[in-house]
Structure 1
Amino acid sequence: MFRTHTPKAAAALLTILAMALSACLLTPGRFTSSLDLRRDGTFRFAYQGEIHMLALTKLAQMGSKPKVFEPDTCYNDEAKERPCTAEELADQKQAFEERLKQSGPKDKAEAEQMKALLGGIDPSNPQAAEDMAARLRRQAGWKSVVYKGDGLFVVDYAIAGRLDHDFVFPTVERLPLANAFVQLSRRNDGTVRIDAPGYSGQSGAGNPMGMALAGMAGAMAKAGKAGKDGGDLPGNPFGPFEGTFTLTTDGVIVANNTDEGPKPVAGGQQLDWTVNIRNAAPTALVRLGS
């Protein structure tokens, strides 16, 4: 008995889309980032470099459904490719035309859902990226936001304040699903926990960012998609992912996961992390106060 093969690319693309919407809309590119945390609770945080917004790049391109019939591959009983018969091609074309007729309302509903999740921005609109850049520029801390195309923004972000509440970077106005690159959690015992889940591509229960990237990479591979040729780091389907994160403080460093540990610098101690797809997410615990 002969049989045809139905590609699973569409299912893989839906998996990618679901992951991006639920856990991972933003990813770093090449960047430098720093945090200065003082015992009196004041802090300065900075991020300079690239940020990828997945909903404005590969997802929009890959999620588009073909409007022209493309026949599936046909196989024989030994699972070897063979030419499709005229009857098989006719059946495939009929099924394609039926799907095309039914896709209109569904596509419209999916587009409206995506627009709602992006705070009113339609990712299929050529102006969407500039609208997002303008939204970021209105927020405190975003000194410069330049859109380079293909979902890539180059930013200069710096903010200072007092850590009498938790802090998360980045936050995007009207975008509830923006995932955290860095988060500072103030505890009742006077310590501050620093976590940077967005500065790692490692998968694991403690890093939803890495889990999403790993899942999307696998789904893209199954769909026959790949990142840009040259320069992509293993496991990151959206481009180079590398940078540095530096923490300086005059507080007491209770715990950290750097390779070298703290080193003395003017005004306190310093921790340094090299960020890439392979290294663990930076984390530290610092005690404030006298």
Structure 2
Amino acid sequence: MKMFSGLRLRAAALLTGFALTLTGCFMSPGKFTSELAITGPDSFTFSYEGEIFFLGLSKLARLGAGVEETFAAYCFDDETYESRDCTKEEEAEQRTEWEAGAAERAEKAKKDAENMKAIMGGIDPSDPKAAEELVKLLERQKGWDRVVHKGDGLFEVSYAISGTLGHDFMFPQIEGFPPVNPFVQMYLRDGSQVRINAPAFVFQTGDNPFGALGGGLGPFAGLAAMGAAQEAEENADGTKEAEAIPGVPTLEGTFTIRTAAGMRILANNTDEGPEAAPGGGEVLRWAITPRTSQSPTALIVTAPR
């Protein structure tokens, strides 16, 4: 009986995760500071200072795309399930199967590349100038005051914008990119209510530290497949802490929501609850780390009492 070794399993998990990111979950925050302020019944300001990671421009993506280029036979013992050397017949059989799938793998790689290019606003991730193109794309959009590529798909950005509460808001929004990977969302409700969610500002939940990378179906949800091939470190209290995924920046930062005087915070999931702000209003603060298990959320009535 034949079986992939642990190395092949890790490669397969990576490929699965990478393929799933092609549905649009391919951006992730790194180290950051972000603030959303409801400055009046009909106005807000938002800022994000820090890192944004684009999987498609990283070495991790190129590894996932090319992991099966070299053939290797893998077998295991029927009783112990330990890896063992393959017989010549087993190796020949596996090689035949692998070669038979060459055309299908090539077609899939081509399709994946086309899909990634489509969701990156027409930017070809394999182009050496792809990062430079993305910098130019972001800098010509309002709010992106500074965009610097630090290498391997990691960008340092400074974003700030003011707007009215006449419509919903989401960050980031990038021209030509599908709006499927939000870091922060603000939804307007009847009765002057605003629901604020930050689905990207969470790394793990409950028993599955890889099941909510980037917030449930947020950034890199597809890389949850790597959980089957990576280990979680068990703490003294029995909880598990996810290991860092090589090539993906550490999620670490602060998210703050500020309200103007007279507004009411109906619900929130901070540890300490709202704090009084100088001059009136209240402040909600979340410290985001790799141990964060819930994405920030709040419900606010913007009309003065």
The alpha-carbon deviation at position 48 of structure 1 amounts to 0.3
* 1:270 maps to 2:294: no
Consecutive unaligned residues of structure 1, counting only runs of 5 or more, are 227-232
Partner residue, 2:98: 96
Say how many residue pairs are matched. Answer: 280
Cα distance in 1 between the residues matched to 2:223 and 2:199: 18
Partner residue, 1:17: 18
Q: Structure 1 stretch 63-72 or stretch 9-18: which is displaced more?
A: 9-18
Q: Deviations over 1:175-200 (max 9, x none)?
A: 11441111111222112111111111
Pairwise mapping of residues 1-290 of structure 1 onto structure 2 (< 5 A)? Answer: 3-6=1-4, 7-9=8-10, 11-22=12-23, 24-57=25-58, 58-203=60-205, 209-212=214-217, 216-223=222-229, 234=242, 237=245, 238-250=248-260, 251-267=263-279, 268-279=281-292, 280-290=294-304
The alpha-carbon deviation at position 157 of structure 1 amounts to 0.4
Q: Deviations over 1:136-155 (max 9, x none)?
A: 11111000011111211110
The alpha-carbon deviation at position 173 of structure 1 amounts to 0.7
Q: Which has the higher helix share?
A: 1
The alpha-carbon deviation at position 90 of structure 1 amounts to 2.3
What TM-score results when the alignment is normalised by the length of structure 2?
Answer: 0.81
Cα distance in 2 between the residues matched to 1:208 and 1:81: 31
The alpha-carbon deviation at position 40 of structure 1 amounts to 3.2
In 2 relative to 1, CA 269–101 (structure 1 residues): closer, same or farther, beyond 3 Å? closer
Partner residue, 1:230: none
- CA RMSD in angstroms, aligned pairs only: 2.7
Cα distance in 2 between the residues matched to 1:219 and 1:225: 12
In 2 relative to 1, CA 269–103 (structure 1 residues): closer, same or farther, beyond 3 Å? closer
Consecutive unaligned residues of structure 2, counting only runs of 5 or more, are 207-211, 233-240
Cα distance in 2 between the residues matched to 1:158 and 1:181: 14
The alpha-carbon deviation at position 203 of structure 1 amounts to 4.3
Q: Deviations over 1:203-255 (max 9, x none)?
A: 48xx79423468545422445699xxxxxx72653231110011121122222
Q: Is the 8 A contact 1:217 1:235 kept in 2?
A: no
Cα distance in 1 between the residues matched to 2:25 and 2:221: 11
What TM-score results when the alignment is normalised by the length of structure 1?
Answer: 0.85
- Overall identity of the aligned pairs, in %: 41
Cα distance in 2 between the residues matched to 1:18 and 1:253: 40
